Amino acid sequence: MSEVLLSLNGVSVRRGSSNVLKNLDLEVSGGQLVLLNDKNGGGKSTIIEAAAGIHPLETGEIRHHGNVILDSSGRSKQPQLAFGLTLQSDGCIGSQRVEEHILNALDVVGGRIQIDTWLERYNLTHRRHDLISHLSGGQRRKVAMLAGILPGFVGETPRLLFLDEPAAGLDEDARTALVEDLQHLRERGNCILLASHHSDFNACATHIFRDNELNVNDSNTSNVHEMVDIKTTSSQSGVVFRTGLALNQRTLSTLASNGIAGFLTLGMLLALVDSSAIDSNLIQASGLFLSAAFAAGLVGDSMVAMLHEHRALDWWKAHRQGIPNSYLHALILGAGLTALTQLGYDQDISWIIVTIGGLLTVSTMFVIRGIDLATSRLARPRAAFTRILTPILILPFALFVQWITDSNLL
């Protein structure tokens, strides 16, 4: 008998005032494809997302390969073996290119395979270098689906694959190809949890889960295929850092949001504060030199807003390997603003203060980003006006300026 790769034990999930899942028990073994095709509102997506560790649990625990990754006490661990995931909302960042998102999904699981075959199979070869935001809804769905299934072809160890409505918007030829690929994945020993209303998947599903009951699928007509050896190569490290760096360079989001706030602050300081009064007050001088960098950090990380698109933030959170950020660009921006402020007041550049300015922008951005991420699980995160808490950072900033003065860094 195959090893149980996925266990949901007594899982309850609450959304708002409603219990979407209550005391759910489900075990799926390697080589099984469990099809969730309950009615709309029956909790199919919630089961997928709970199994991926996205939702906090009211009761119960989630186990991957026998290890707890999430329980009702809030304990959360990174899975020892990364999984494939396709969310109902795609989980793609619009400013990424097609091949970037697919290769990111492979790098997350720790290995790469040649994706050309699948791009051709799903008619995406000519769009591989296009931005995801430029694709049609069906093409974007293919990209999200490939990011969910291709990790199952990496290496020889069976993986978990969570697919939420992978065929939504796909044409008949693409659905037929997907059913064949799912059969190959199942024969490789992968454990697949799939939510869909499409009858096409009855041909490859080994079990059907409906009304909290797991039943053997008598309609399974899939045939055993000849196993094809797929060569796995090493992945590229630093997928989180590389993604944040590429997105910032492509969109200039940090310069456009944080930079504007910093330059506006610098302009107002130069217009309102007389440079002749600076030497007489070291506290005022250090505060002025760092104000623009501080203001830039108060805007927060523009990457968070970018990741809210198509629920890409949840896709990254589920893998528990980090979330793309803008810290490097914030460091450069804060240092540059501090240097420009000193030059604007006809002062010699203090590289110590320049370095402090860069670190101040990063640390301030880190705090604001933490607040934004803490509210991201809410049903309407943008409706939570957590930014009203940002003025509390003025006191630490004032104490920091006092410390710089007392330390004779100016």
| Distance of alpha carbon 141 from alpha carbon 136, whole angstroms | 9
Dihedral, 65, 71, 74, 80 alpha carbons, nearest 10: 0
Query: Which amino acid belongs to residue 16?
Result: G
Q: Place domain 4-216 in its CATH homologous superfamily.
A: P-loop containing nucleotide triphosphate hydrolases (3.40.50.300)
Most confident of 211-215, 276-280, 347-351: 347-351
- The pLDDT score that the predictor gives to residue 181 is 92
DSSP lists the bridge partners of residue 14 as 19
What average pLDDT does the chain have? Answer: 87
Please compute the mean of the pLDDT values over residues 189-199 and round it to a whole number.
Answer: 90
Q: Are 178 and 186 in contact (CB under 8 A)?
A: no
Cβ partners under 8 Å of residue 225, min gap 6 = 180, 183, 184, 187
3-state secondary structure of 208: strand
91, two tokens: 């989980």
- The pLDDT score that the predictor gives to residue 236 is 87
- The per-residue pLDDT for range 353-389, each reduced to its tens digit, is 999 999 999 999 999 999 888 877 665 655 556 667 7
40, two tokens: 């709309």
Q: Is the pLDDT of residue 222 over 90?
A: no
Domain with CATH 3.40.50.300 in the chain: 4-216
- The pLDDT score that the predictor gives to residue 399 is 85
- The percentage of residues in the chain with a pLDDT greater than 90, rounded to a whole number, is 52
Most confident of 1-10, 317-326, 387-396: 317-326
Q: Are 36 and 164 in contact (CB under 8 A)?
A: no
3-state secondary structure of 213: strand
Q: Is the pLDDT of residue 404 over 70?
A: yes
- The pLDDT score that the predictor gives to residue 279 is 58
- The per-residue pLDDT for range 278-303, each reduced to its tens digit, is 655 555 677 888 999 999 999 999 99
Size of the chain in residues: 410
Please compute the mean of the pLDDT values over residues 239-255 and round it to a whole number.
Answer: 94
Q: Classify residue 384 by its DSSP letter.
A: S
* Residue 143: Cβ-neighbour burial (10 angstroms; 0-12, 13-18, 19+): buried
Q: Are 162 and 52 in contact (CB under 8 A)?
A: yes
